[in-house]
């Protein structure tokens, strides 16, 4: 049976939550493989809205095993609060339905404090636009070999040693930023208090998933953010702090790359971005405010972040960028979402490449200064006046909407496996079943 990786193929916010929920009904295990609670998935099931940040999307599906992998950085206090909130909505979460990898690094309060202090101290043009939730500093500590990990919560002596090592690094940093030194004993006490609430879910996830795979169970690998925020292949330095592309799915839970059978890229029918950084197809007036088309996309698409509430920047579909991310993630098929937001536009534009200092490029260059100077090259296509909202078959789509989808396929060099026409999970058109690949 096929195991499927779902990745966002733009800058995030592509509608992964709905697609993962739809696929999770057919999976046995849903595994989150990277990121922190700086990203969010909004699921709409039978009219009920679930907002998830740290929990895998599969938790709202009864009888499934949800896994938080070692590629994630986990805020234990946030997780406990999120579990309680979801339970209040009638969802059962137990150690039988949720597992956390024992080697998952923790986000501590000191990480959020450092994250926010750095952003406040950054000079104009150097702010990354982080959520201030400590994800970046937590990943830094992981690479610096000074993380407190889930397994460390089980032994008092190890826990204190890990905290002491972390503070050897953090206290000098805090002094330089004008922040008071960490209250070491208070931090240890906080961790001891939260420990039993987290340890009940701790497990050797790498072993559990390998055993499940040998038993023929279907695994759905779920990421956060989007491939253009990947620490290596995104618009650096305006990126997240982890690898987002599909290859991270194997490392982020502890299975070999051979466990990945199908990569599904989630792609919005237009383009959005939250935070700072280059955005060639962004729709702006001369003064930097959204133009009429950009404003229309934002309002119709309800483009506000699940985690921060920040308004997303909006632009035309960028085929060059999606073609690039499909290559770096090995995408076999895309799920095209929010097609209905384009209803009513007389004409639409698709970015097919860039003009950089008189040279035409069919990809976004790596150098930040070059990215900032890239001008979009557009292809104009006719829009449609009819509604696509809620369509569940090709026959229900306007002819020009079908032409738009087909042109997108040609330009990104990847087929559409699924089409989403509203936030409701059943409003989808399935072309290729990823689990049957």
Write the pLDDT tens digit of every residue in 174-188: 999 999 999 999 999
- Active-site residue, 13 included: yes
Find the angle CA(8)-CA(10)-CA(13) to the nearest 5 degrees: 65
Q: What gap in Å lies between CA 268 and CA 341, rounded to an integer? A: 10
Structural domains for the chain: 4-102+201-263 (3.40.440.10), 109-198 (1.10.300.10), 267-436 (3.90.170.10)
The rounded mean pLDDT for the chain is: 93
Q: Is the CB of residue 437 less than 8 Å from the CB of residue 424?
A: no
Task: Give the per-residue pLDDT at 97.
Answer: 94
Sign of CA dihedral 264, 270, 276, 279: positive
Determine which one of 13, 28, 75, 427 is catalytic. 13
pLDDT tens, position by position, 224-255: 889 999 999 999 999 999 999 999 999 999 99
The answer to whether 142 and 165 have CB atoms below 8 angstroms apart is no
Catalytic residue among 21, 28, 41, 111: 41
41 given a catalytic annotation = yes
Q: How confident is the model at residue 308 (pLDDT cuts 50, 70, 90)?
A: low
362, pLDDT greater than 70: yes
Overall pTM surpassing 0.85 (yes/no): yes
Which residue, among 43, 44, 330, 213, has the nearest Cα to 56 in the 3D structure?
Answer: 43
Q: Among residues 32, 13, 37, which one has the least CA distance to residue 98? A: 32
For a pLDDT cut of 90, what percent of the chain falls above it?
81
């Amino acid at each position: 049976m096929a195991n499927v990786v779902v990745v966002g193929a733009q800058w995030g916010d592509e509608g992964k939550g709905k697609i993962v929920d739809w696929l999770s009904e057919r999976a046995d295990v849903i595994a989150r493989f990277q990121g922190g609670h700086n990203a969010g998935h909004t699921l709409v099931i039978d009219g009920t809205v679930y907002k998830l940040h740290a929990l895998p999307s599969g938790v709202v599906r009864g009888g499934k095993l949800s896994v938080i992998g070692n590629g994630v950085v986990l805020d234990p206090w946030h997780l406990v609060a999120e579990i309680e909130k979801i339970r209040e909505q009638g969802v059962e979460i137990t150690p039988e339905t949720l597992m956390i990898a024992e080697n998952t690094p923790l986000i501590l309060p000191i990480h959020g404090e450092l994250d926010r202090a750095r952003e406040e101290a950054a000079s104009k043009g150097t702010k990354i636009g982080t959520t201030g939730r400590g994800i970046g500093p937590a990943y830094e500590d992981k690479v610096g070999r000074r993380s407190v990990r889930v397994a460390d919560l089980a032994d008092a002596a190890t826990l204190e040693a890990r905290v002491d090592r972390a503070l050897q690094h953090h206290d000098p940093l805090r002094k330089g930023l004008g922040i008071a030194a960490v209250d070491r004993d208070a931090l240890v006490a906080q961790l001891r208090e939260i420990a039993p609430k987290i340890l009940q879910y701790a497990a050797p996830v790498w072993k559990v998933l390998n055993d499940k795979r040998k038993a023929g169970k279907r695994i759905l690998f779920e990421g956060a953010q989007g491939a253009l925020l990947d620490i290596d292949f995104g618009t650096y330095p305006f990126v997240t702090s982890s690898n987002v592309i599909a290859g991270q799915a194997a490392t982020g839970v502890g299975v070999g790359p051979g466990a990945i059978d199908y990569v599904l890229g989630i792609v919005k029918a237009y383009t959005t971005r939250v935070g700072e950084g280059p955005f060639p197809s962004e729709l702006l007036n001369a003064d930097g405010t959204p133009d009429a088309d950009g404003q229309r996309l934002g309002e119709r698409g309800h483009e506000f972040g699940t985690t921060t509430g920040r308004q997303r920047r909006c632009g035309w579909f960028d085929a060059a960028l999606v073609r690039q991310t499909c290559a770096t993630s090995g995408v076999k098929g895309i799920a095209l979402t929010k097609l209905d937001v384009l209803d009513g536009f007389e004409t639409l534009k698709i970015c097919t490449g860039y003009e950089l200092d008189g040279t035409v490029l069919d990809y976004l260059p790596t150098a930040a200064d070059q990215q900032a100077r890239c001008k979009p090259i557009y292809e104009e296509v006719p829009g449609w006046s009819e509604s696509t909202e809620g369509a569940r078959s090709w026959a229900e789509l306007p002819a020009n909407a079908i032409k738009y989808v087909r042109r997108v396929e040609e330009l990104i060099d990847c087929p559409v496996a699924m089409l989403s026409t509203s936030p409701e999970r059943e409003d989808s058109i399935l072309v290729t079943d990823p689990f049957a690949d």
